[in-house]
Amino acid sequence: MARSIHSSAVVEEGATIGEGVEIGPFCHVGGEVELAEGCVLHSHVAVAGRTVVGPRTAIFPFASVGHQPQDLKYAGEPSALEIGADNIIREHVTLNPGTKGGGMRTVVGDRNLFMMGAHVAHDCRVGNGCVMANNATLGGHVVLEDGAIVGGLAAVHQFVRVGPHAMIGGLSAVVQDVIPYGMVFGDRATLRGLNWIGLKRAGTDRETLSRLRRAFRQLFDGDGPMGERLDAVSAEHGADPMVRRIVEFMGAESDRGLCLPESSGDAA
């Protein structure tokens, strides 16, 4: 399949352009960029640095992909941005490469939707099938796991982990980790329950949903220190991989602590 590069586009020497790539008017592609087969760059897209864009990813006008991270500690180190397949990157989205302090890579998986104005900062890890709505922001070093959704104008603090299929409501400020399948929102976001709509859309069966509901209540409405509650839930429901994912997530070391319900009590 033939490549299509508009006459007004600038593709620097050294860039790798795959089969079937379309580069529209007034785009700029740097000399170290790799565009895999079937990528589409609509007009006025700028892709720079050591950036790899996976197959069939579409990038819309005025997106800035792979340019220098917004980190004052960045000193020109040869960091990278890796983007997987079948992503949709809409207008004015910014995706930054990594830094020395974060492993030198920002990594984006497959089939993600980045709506207008979304921002993924340096050293982030974005999984597969995530959605970032208009003007949603990930600070540096954030982990956004598979299927997570970040609502419009929400901001996720540096080093926060967001578990799989979690939902962050619009306009939320998320400063602590969000458990897998959790739903958080608020000026300083608190955990409001599980993301039932997202779980159902993902095809989760009724028995698993019921087990998740019981585990959630034990964890956040039960008595005693959180460590004891985690042990109890693990003993009773640990055979379920989704419950186990929550328990392991909560038990893992965290830079920011956990985003909890306002009435959850001891988080230790």
CATH number at residue 226: 1.20.1180
Quick check: is 236 in a domain?
A: yes
Query: Which pLDDT tens digit goes with each residue over 48-72?
Result: 999 999 999 999 999 999 999 999 9
Catalytic-role residue among 71, 110, 123, 177: 123
Please indicate, yes or no, if residue 146 is contained in any of the structural domains: no
CA distance linking residue 187 with residue 159, whole number of Å: 19
Answer yes or no: 141 catalytic: no
What are the tens digits of pLDDT across the range 211-241?
Answer: 999 999 999 998 999 999 999 999 999 999 9
The answer as to whether 164 is a domain residue is no
Q: Is 54 helix (H, G, I), strand (E, B) or coil?
A: coil
* Residue 30 sits in the same domain as residue 126: yes
* Whole-number average pLDDT of the chain: 96
Secondary structure class of 251 (helix, strand, coil)? helix
* Band of residue 11 on the pLDDT scale cut at 50, 70, 90: very high
Helix intervals (H) in 177-240:
196-201, 206-221, 226-237
- Determine the pLDDT at residue 264: 58
Is the pLDDT assigned to residue 107 strictly greater than 60?
Answer: yes
The β-bridge relationship of strands 182-185 and 22-23 is unpaired
Domain of residue 222: give its range: 200-251
Q: Which residue has the tokens 């399949």?
A: 1
Q: Active-site residue among 122, 141, 165, 237? A: 122
123 shares its domain with 234: no
Q: Is 44 an annotated catalytic residue?
A: no
Does residue 157 carry a catalytic annotation?
no
The CATH number for 50's domain is: 2.160.10.10
Both 45 and 128 in one domain: the answer is: yes
Query: According to the model, what pLDDT value does residue 262 have?
Result: 86
Domain end, chosen from 141, 158, 182, is at 141
In a domain? residue 130? yes
Is 122 inside any structural domain? yes
Q: Which of 84, 139, 140, 182 is catalytic?
A: 140
Q: Given a cut of 50, is residue 268 above it in pLDDT?
A: no
Q: Which of 141, 166, 185 is the last residue of a domain?
A: 141
